[in-house]
Structure 1
Amino acid sequence: MTDSARDRELDLVLYGATGFVGRLLADYLARTAPDGVRIALAGRSHPKLEALRTTLGPRAANWPILIADSQDPLALVELAARTQVVATTVGPYAKYGAELVGACVAAGTDYVDLTGEVLFARDSIDAHHEKARAGGVRIVHSCGYDSIPSDLGVHVLYQAVRADGAGDLGETTLVASLRGGVSGGTIDSLRTQIDASRPHPALRRLAASPYSLSPDRTAEPDLGRQSDIAIVNGADIAPTVRGWTAPFVMGSYNTRVVRRSNALRGYLYGRTFKYREVMSVGGSRLSRLYAGSVAAILGGLVLGLSVRPTRYLLDRILPAPGQGPSEKTQRDGYFAMDLYTTTTTGARYTARVKGDGDPGYRATAVMLGESALSLVLDRDRLPDTAGVLTPATALGDVLVDRLRGAGLEISARTL
C-alpha cells in the first residue's frame, strides 16, 4: 500500500462477499473486526450484497456496498482506489482474478486472496511482482488453508532452530490431519487449471515443476528430485510418526509457496532445505493400503476431469460453484499440520499449526480475515518488503500473533 492509500475512505473491501467463503469471511469480520475499521462489501449484484448485509448484525449495518464486475478493469481500478486493502474470494482466480490484481497494483492497494492455482500465481508474479515492489504494494496470494499453515509452520520452525543455533533446516515434511468438506469452488479451480494446461505441454511442465513459483529458477540449489506427491513411511519422517502417509491433495501447491518464501528470503531456511507434504491415514497395519487408496483416488479425480466422458459424469456428481459443506460439517471440522525437520547439525525439531472448524471454509475465513487485518492495522510491524509475496514473507510474525489470538495453535519445539 502506498502512503496515499492511508487517507482513503475505506480500510478493507471484501470482494466476492456473496460467495460461499465470502459470506463466511463477511460474518467473521462483522463479529471480530475492531471498531473503527471501515469495511465495504463488493461484488456484481447489489440486491445479493444488500441481502447479505442484513444478516451480519448491527456492526455491519452501515457497511457500504460497491459494485464491480471481475472482467471490468475500469470498475476494478475505481474500487481498488477507494480502499487500503482488498480481500477477494472470487475464484477460480485464473478466470476471475487477474484484472483485480492488476487494478490493485495500479491503485497502490494491498491485496489478499485464497488461490491455490499454480498457473495463476505464476502469471501474477510475472506480470506484477516488479511493479508492485517498486510501488510498495503487497500482493499476497494463498491466505487460507492453502497455504498459511504450511508457510507459517515452516516460518516458526525456522525461528525455533535459529534461536537455538541448531543450523539450517534440512529434510522437512508436513503431515496433515484434517476433517472437513469440499466446495464447488475448489473443484472448479482444479477444472480450470486442467483446462489451461491440457493443450499446452509447456504449461503442464511449469505446473509440475517443484520450483514453478520461484523468483529465479536458475538460482535454486540442485537438491535432486523433490517428492511433492508421495506415499511415505512415517518412520522415515520422524520416530513419532506411525504408519504410512498418503499424498496430501494441496501438497503440490503448498510446497511451491514454501519454496518461494525460502527464495524470497535469500534461502534463509538453508540451501539444503527440502520440503514435502503428506497426509496421515492413521497408524494401523493397513495404513499402507489406505495411503495407496488415497493416491489412487486423487489420481483418478485428476484423470477423470481431464477426459471428456468421465468429466461429464463427474460434473454431475461433484459440488457446483457456490455450493459447499453444511453448517454441521464446518462446525465439526478441524485440522492439525505437524512439521518435522532434521537440521544440518542433526537436531530434530517439530512445529504444529492446529485449528478448529472446517479447514477449507470456516478456518480459512479466519486466516483470510486476519491476513487482511494485518495489512490494515499492523502495517508498521510488517516485514519491510513489497511485490507478489507469500504469507510468511509479507505478514510473518504479525499474522502468527493474530492467528494465535484468534484461537489457532502455532508452535515449534525440539523433538
Structure 2
Amino acid sequence: MSHTDTDTSVLIAGAGPVGMTTALALHARDVPVEIVEAESEDRDRSGSRAIYVHGATLRTLERVHPGLGTDLVEEGIVWPTRRTLYHGKEVFSRTYDSPGGSGDIPHFTSIPQVTTEAYLLDALDAAGIEIHWECAVKTVQSGPDGVRVETSDGREWETPYLVGADGGGSTVRNEIGVDFKGDQSKNHFIIADVHEVENKPLPIERVFHYSNPDVDGRNTLLVPFTGGWRLDIQCFEDDDPDELVKDENMSRFVRKVMGEEYDDRFEWVSTYQFKQVRAEHFIDEHRRVLLAGEAAHLLAPFGARGMNSGVADADEAASAIAVAYHAQIDAVAQDEVELFAARREKAADYNIGAAGQALEYLQGDDPVTVLRKEAAASLADYFEPAGEWLDDAPYGPHGKPPIVSTGNY
C-alpha cells in the first residue's frame, strides 16, 4: 500500500477553462495543485468560442471560488427572446419576462470565452495557484504510485495525479495510449464574431433561420453576447468553406443577415467540421491520470455541451482526486477514480448522442425529418407547439445524462 505525500501537488496539463476550473476545484478541496501550459502567458485567444454558459456551470464556478459565478453573470447577458424562421417566414417567437429565472445565478449567461478565461485567471491568482507557461507536456509515465511528467522546458515532475485538460490534440491522452473514437460532420460550418453597432443595436434575441433565403438557403443562427454577436452559417456539402470566408463573401453574409450597418463589423471568422468523438477511457491503467474536457471528448456545439460538460468533468475529477489523495487505502483511491471515469464516460456518450441528434436533424436528408419540419412550419401559425418544436429541435434534447447527477451537463 502507498500513501500520497500531502506536500506534493497534483498536476494539471492545460490552462483552458477546464484546466483552470480543475485547479480551482482541487484548491477548494484542500489539494495542492499546479498547472503546466504549452502556450505563453500572452497567448492569442481570439474569438468568442464557447459563449453560452449554463446555469449549472455558473453554480459550479461559484461553489469552487465564491464570487466567480456571479462575476460572470454580471459581465454576461441573458437574452430574453427566442425567434425562429423557416424559409424566410417567422414560425416562432417568444419573449420571457424573466428569461434568467430567479436568484443570483440565471439559467445561462452569454459571454465570450476570453472573458470567462480572464476571470478564471484572476481567480487562480487570488487562490495562489501557479501556472507554468511555455511548459508543454512531452512525456507521461504512470505507475501504481504516481506519475512522472517531462515538460518542454526540461523539467521533470513527480505527481500523485495528473489531469489531462490539454485539448483535442492532448499529449496526455496520447501518452497513456488512449485513442479517440467517433466521426465528424459532413458539412462545414462558418462561425463569425460581429461587433455591435452601438448607435443602432439589433434587438437582443437569439434567431435561428432554416434555409435562410438571404444566404442562398443555408441555415443561420444569430446569438448575442456581451459586446457583439455570434453568426453561425451551415454550409452545403459542396461548398468551398475557404472561398466563403473571404472578406467579400462574409461582408455579404453579414449584411444580408444583420443589416448594412454590420457588413464591416465582423472580426474573427473560423470554419469547422464538428467532431463527435470521445476517448476510449478517461483514465489510465493505474488510475493516476484523468482526462477532462476536449482531451476526453469533442462534441458538435448544439446545446452548448462542450465547455459546459468540460467544467462538469473538471469538478468531478477534482472530487475524485481529493478523496483519492487523502485515502489511506489504495483500493478506495482507485475506486474513486474509476467512479469518475464511469460517470463522465456515460455523460460524454449522452452528450455526443444529444449533439449528434441535433446535427442529424440540421444536416440530414432523412425524408421523415424533412416532412416533419415542413409540416410543423405549415402548422406554426395555428398551433404554437409546432413552431416551438422547430425552435427547440436544433439544440438536441434537454435531459441530463442517465447517471447519479448533480445537474451538470
Question: Same-fold call, TM > 0.5?
Answer: no
Q: Who wins on radius of gyration, i.e. which is larger? A: 2
Higher helix share: 1
